[in-house]
A and B are shown apart, each in its own frame.
Chain A
Amino acid sequence: MNEKKKKQLTNQQKGRLAILVTFLLVVIALVSGVTIGSSNISPAAFFEAWAKGDTTASAYRIVIHSRLPRVLGALLAGSSLAVCGSILQAVLQNPLASPSVIGVNNGAGLLVLLCSALLPSRPSLLPLAAFLGALLTALAVFALAMGKSVSRVTLVLTGIAMSSILGAGMNCIMILYPDAYIGASTFLVGGLSAVTLKSLEAPVWYILIGLLLAMMMRRDMNIVSLGSDTARSLGMSVGRTRFLLVFTAAILAGAAVSFAGLISFVGLIIPHGFRFLIGNDNRYLVPSCIFAGGAFVILCDLVSRTAFAPYEVPVGILLSFLGGPFFIYLIIRSRRRVND
């Protein structure tokens, strides 16, 4: 019995192990994402071309111009959306919250399309526009969530209604400005086929800053999760901390949406999966989400571009097929807990 007890890992040990495993997973996903595709490329072939400076070699061209931007885009989008989800769940104290469920992604998407329509010559402004859209939506949901009588499910239903309104706004823009955004249909479901290294230049800074802020505030997320009264009694400025966390979530969601479109459910699946495995300690949850979110989207994108070859399905569709049933399961579980 005692021996059995000794073998059980503590949450801290599980957390550290999860960070290590997810880091290895992201490395494997990166290598797989770059080498596997319609034509498989061996790392040796690429490095040979790279060492020789042979920029015309097909291995070099495919990796640099097609696979690498896409894999880096998947890594950045997956990491940022997974961390954004874990932040929103902690701040709203609602396990059903995620950037796609409560409308934050749609808020970012609306301003991306609006910016593309009104300022077509300024693509560098897209991440900023997406951030503002995400922030305004997140603050609106946040203000609603602070109402005492708002249940978890009511908050989610309001988020879904808000997503519909913002979605209608996006459709209006696409009807009024049909040429505003090239690949608008992929944008609406979320996809990485149009990602270039150039298109990642601005969002990468937003995401790095967002992830850094999330790492710095992961202990504060634990205190916030204890509830307002306890957090205040420990000397935390709860309002300011919550605003900073929502601000960080908006930076992350906005930057991801600006180049990958409305990718759904990553912010729900990854934090929940790791809460189940390692518990709710954000010291370990946030770094695990950074690596696991990135690895998850890279691998999903790999499946979506190879499973139906020569056709390609936007990764957002695959994620919706996975995330939709998972979300329904969470709602049923949440209602069951309330009834219990």
Chain B
Amino acid sequence: MIELNRISFAYPGCSPLLKEVSVSFPRGKITTILGPNGCGKSTLLKVACNLMPATEGEVLLEGKRIREMKPKKVARQVALLSQSHQPPEIEVADLVSYGRFPYRKYGQGITKEDKRHVEEAMERVNMADYRHRLVNKLSGGERQRAYIAMALAQDTELIFLDEPTTYLDIHIRFELMELVRELNRSGKTIVMVLHDLNLALEYSHNLILMEAGKIVTTGSPEEIITSGEMDRVFQIRTKIFEEQENTYYYFAQKEE
């Protein structure tokens, strides 16, 4: 699995976005990174999968230094659904087939094995009927499912999702999170960045709370809530309601 050891990251001539971050993501779990805007959540994801090489420290993937690994080899173990897409004017099936790029030899077309993975990925996210639809003509939720299918076609154990629910309607957010949960149950390790605290608390096994490029605390949702750190970092107050074995959270502005 991925392990980050004393990672720092800064763009040349700029102040650091990550400061000596050490963390690992438990195998087979859903881990969510939380924190205010600009605290380095997305940067942490990109550094973790070597999209942006760390300025200091090292990232280990299954015990090997990730920066010394070939990009295609990393992509066979880690898939990333990045935050913003310029939706391409291509068919869904073609987009999903790009997920097989890490397995492709130079100049080689799509193989039978690739086709099988593409079909399975589309089936799993209920996009098989959309195969000939253009990606840029899909709704926000359908588009995210198409991109998740591409990540599934990559056939990796670890999937990173960078704000997958942004700009989606509330019921689509829940649908997407149910899909994430289903993927996790089928054996995928999920690491995601979310802004929606309710979704993060409901769907995660493990939370990482960040502030100003540093990790404040990690733990289960209950541990994070009861520590009071989330209230401090987001400047909110959290109320917990329990009803028929379910726990609900209400967030309000912090009183002066």
Contact = CB atoms under 8 A, between A and B. Distances in A.
B37 to A, nearest CB: 18
A237 B94 contact: no
Interface in B70-127: 70-76, 78-80, 82-86, 88-91, 94, 98-99, 101-102, 104, 106-107, 109
A226 B134 CA distance: 14
B193 interface: no
Contacts of B107: 216
B245 to A, nearest CB: 39
Nearest to B46: A229
B86 A281 contact: no
A100 to B, nearest CB: 24
B61 to A, nearest CB: 13
B154 interface: yes
B76 A222 contact: no
Interface string A229-245: 11011111100000000
A222 B46 contact: no
Given A233-B75, A233-B79, A235-B74, A280 B89 contact: yes
Given A237-B71, A279-B134, A229 B154 contact: no
A151 to B, nearest CB: 13
Interface residues of A, number: 23
Contacts of A12: 91, 94
A279 B101 contact: no
B148 interface: no
Contacts of A10: 91, 132
A223 interface: yes
Contacts of B83: 229
Contacts, number: 74
Contact of B99 (A219, A222, A225, A234): A234
A227 interface: yes
B210 interface: no
A55 interface: no
B53 to A, nearest CB: 11
B88 A235 contact: no
A42 interface: no
Contact of A235 (B75, B86, B106): B75
A11 B86 contact: no
A93 interface: yes
B216 interface: no
Nearest to B87: A226
Nearest to B108: A219
Contacts of B46: 229
Contacts of A226: 85-86, 88, 98
29 contacts: A11-B90, A11-B94, A219-B109, A223-B98, A223-B101, A225-B88, A226-B88, A227-B82, A229-B80, A229-B82, A229-B83, A230-B85, A233-B49, A233-B82, A234-B99, A235-B70, A235-B71, A235-B72, A235-B74, A235-B101, A235-B102, A236-B101, A279-B91, A279-B134, A280-B88, A280-B89, A280-B90, A281-B90, A281-B94
> Which 9 pairs from chain A and chain B are nearest by CB?
A235-B75, A235-B72, A233-B80, A229-B82, A235-B102, A234-B101, A235-B71, A280-B89, A10-B132
